[in-house]
Amino acid sequence: MEESRLQELLNVVQKNTSYYHLKWGSVNDPGKQNTWNWAAFFFSTFWLAYRKMYKLFFLFLGIELLWTIPAYFVDLPLWVMYSFYPLVAIITGLYGNRWYYLHTVKILHESQKCPDSQQESYVKTKGGAHLGIMFGLMAFSLLFYFLTDFALAHVPTTTNIKDIVRYSDDAITLEVFTEDYEWNYVEKKDRYHVVEFKGYDYTEDEDVRILFHVFFDKQIYEWRDVYLNGQKLSEEEAIDYELWIEENW
C-alpha cells in the first residue's frame, strides 16, 4: 500500500506504530490479507478492548455466553467448554491486524467528515489505545460471567443437580481412585434429588456405587447408601468409607 496512506492510518494507531507499519506494509491489502499478531493471540478479547474495537469485544462476549449456556442443561465434556478460549485466541491472533486495519480506516474516514478544526481531536479520541478502558471492560466481563454463571447454575436441571456433587472434593477423590466412572441422576424425592456415582476402584478391585441426596435449594448434598461389589455397606461401614474418601482428598 502507498506510504502516504499508511502514514495517515498510523496517525490513528498512535501507539506502537512501527509494528503496524511493518505488518500492514508487508502485504498488498491489509484489509483482505492476514498477518499474525501475538498480542492479539495471548490477550484476545482484552486486546480488542485495548485497541477500542468495542463491537468485536461485545460480540465475542455474547458468543461466549451462547457457548457456555448448553453446559448447564446437558452433560458436555470439559474440552468442549474450554476449547472456546484457544479457538478465540487463534482467530484473534490471525485476524487481529486485519480487523484493526479496517477499524483505523473507518475512524480515518469518519474524521474526514468533521470540520478541519475537529479532525485531529476526533482521531485522538477514537484512535489509539486505552489501558483504563481495557481494565474496565475486563472487570465488566468477569462480573458478567460470574453473575451469569450464578443465575444459570441455580436453574434446577439434572446437570446442575449432579454438578453440586461431582464438582466437590469428595467427587474428585472418587474419580481419582476409580475407572470408567459415571454420574447419574436417579429421581426426585420430597425436598431432595437422588444422584448416583458408579465406578471401578482399581486400588481395591471393587465396583463402587454410591447414592447421594442433593438438596438443590441449599446447594448441598449428603452421602446415603454405599455399595461395594453389589453389597450395601452398613451405616457404620458407609461412614468409614466416606471418612476414608475425605481423608484422601
**Calpha distance 169→166 (Å, rounded):** 8
This prediction's pTM: 0.85
- Nearest 5°: phi and psi at 114? -80, 160
pLDDT reported for residue 1? 64
d(CA 231, CA 191): 27
Spans of all domains in the chain: 3-153, 158-247
Q: Is 90 exceeded by the pLDDT of residue 204?
A: no
Mean pLDDT, range 155-162, rounded to an integer:
97
Provide mean pLDDT across the span 212-225: 97
Percent of the chain with pLDDT over 90: 90
48-59 pLDDT, tens per residue? Answer: 999 999 999 999
Please give the share of the chain, as a percent, with pLDDT higher than 70: 99
Cα-flanking dihedrals φ and ψ of residue 214, to 5°? -110, 125
Which pLDDT score, from 0 to 100, does residue 50 have?
97
Residue 87 predicted with pLDDT over 90: yes
Nearest partner of 188 among 213, 221, 222, 224, judged by Cα: 213
Distance CA 48, CA 99 (A): 9
Q: Grid coordinates representing 98?
A: 486485519
Give the sign of the dihedral formed by CA 87, CA 93, CA 94, CA 99: positive
Q: Is 90 exceeded by the pLDDT of residue 203?
A: no
pLDDT band for position 33 (cuts 50, 70, 90): very high
Of 2-11, 98-107, 116-125, the range with the highest mean pLDDT is 98-107
The 10s digit of each residue's pLDDT in 180-189 is: 999 999 999 9
End-to-end CA distance of the chain: 61
Residue 21: name the closest of 114, 101, 141 by CA: 101
Mean pLDDT of the chain: 94
With 70 as the cut, is the pLDDT of residue 215 above it? yes
CA neighbor of 212 nearest in space, from 226, 202, 200: 226
